Chain A
Amino acid sequence: NAGVTQTPKFRILKIGQSMTLQCTQDMNHNYMYWYRQDPGMGLKLIYYSVGAGITDKGEVPNGYNVSRSTTEDFPLRLELAAPSQTSVYFCATNPWGTEAFFGQGTRLTVV
């Protein structure tokens, strides 16, 4: 099993560009999350989903959008990238709220 797969692993964006960070899981978990982690810091919750068709805002949702059309996929969309969005982004799944399984992360730099 691949677990949680994130693409791309690295990306450099120019200010004002848009992109989609992909996240797919093969564990059939209902809960999925997007976090961002700034250097040396903990994880901030951007958006989460409790199942296909259901999403909700986390702690820092501004500047981001998500969708959840299937159980497997939970893409994160950045519109009008800003330097403040330079960070490492982690996607995670959770079978029933007791343990999160993380992808390898996407390192994004906005210049």
Chain B
Amino acid sequence: TQLLEQSPQFLSIQEGENLTVYCNSSSVFSSLQWYRQEPGEGPVLLVTVVTGGEVKKLKRLTFQFGDARKDSSLHITAAQPGDTGLYLCAGGGQGAQKLVFGQGTRLTINP
């Protein structure tokens, strides 16, 4: 069974601070994805990383895939209240067919 462990599970910080969320596994993934979920909605894809060491940027969000393709991180610079939400990492195992999710990081940005 491929497991994804996210840390921290909860994070509450002030507007303007920086933060990093981690997604770790003992298994190698062909790709890792990050999603954001708002209350009452399904998750929405933020980014997919596929190459070991890959770094992708989405405005103030920076995503990195570990060299060994077992872990990933999400870094937010100068967090805004609009960044509040549940952030989920997901990985495709068994030929990327079986998509499993981490337990999520609930992020709260206080004005």
Could you list which residues of chain A lie within 8 angstroms of chain B, going by C-beta atoms? 31, 33, 35, 40-45, 48, 50, 56, 58-59, 90, 92, 94, 96-100, 102-105
Contact = CB atoms under 8 A, between A and B. Distances in A.
Interface residues of B, number: 28
B68 interface: no
Given A97-B92, A98-B33, A43 B97 contact: no
Contacts of A99: 33, 45, 48
A21 B41 CA distance: 17
A43 B1 contact: no
List the 5 closest A-B pairs by CB distance, nearest first: A97-B96, A102-B42, A42-B103, A42-B104, A43-B101
Contacts, number: 67
Interface of B: 1, 6, 30-31, 33, 35, 40-45, 48, 50, 88, 90, 92, 95-104, 106
A35 B4 CA distance: 15
